[in-house]
A = this chain, B = another copy of it.
Amino acid sequence: MSKSKGGVYERELLRLFFDNGFSGVRVAGSGASSMPSPDLVIGRAGEVLAFEVKSTVNDYVYISKAQLDNLLSFSHVFGAKPLVAVKFINRGWRFFEAPEIDSKNARFSFSDSSIFFENFLSKNLNYF
């Protein structure tokens, strides 16, 4: 996926959170830096969510161990909740808590017990 195409979905997700009362930023040079960083950092009232953002036309997407480690490392120091957001194109967003993995890749599937945006918001509103 090209950088600009990835940016479209990052902006879409940032706008979705913004319209639901959060602040947030897209990260400049995410993945290019020697310092670990996510794609999006979203916050409200001091609670912080760090997102790796993916999109796919398939039923599933793979994320490398390196990318997950990077997200977990950033989130651990920052004090953020590490999350994977997947835009299943023409179907919608799903959110997954970023897992620690031993193997090479983690698979995130549309049909897994993932979280819809509305459920995610209400769950996290309780959490806040």
Contact = CB atoms under 8 A, between A and B. Distances in A.
Q: Is the interface of A mostly helix, strand, loop or mixed?
A: mixed
A110 B44 CA distance: 33
B23 A36 contact: yes
A22 interface: yes
A77 B26 contact: no
A35 interface: yes
Given A23-B77, A26-B29, A78-B23, A43 B37 contact: no
A21 B77 contact: yes
Given A46-B48, A48-B48, A41 B21 contact: no
Interface of A: 7, 14-15, 18, 21-30, 35-38, 41, 43-48, 74-75, 77-80
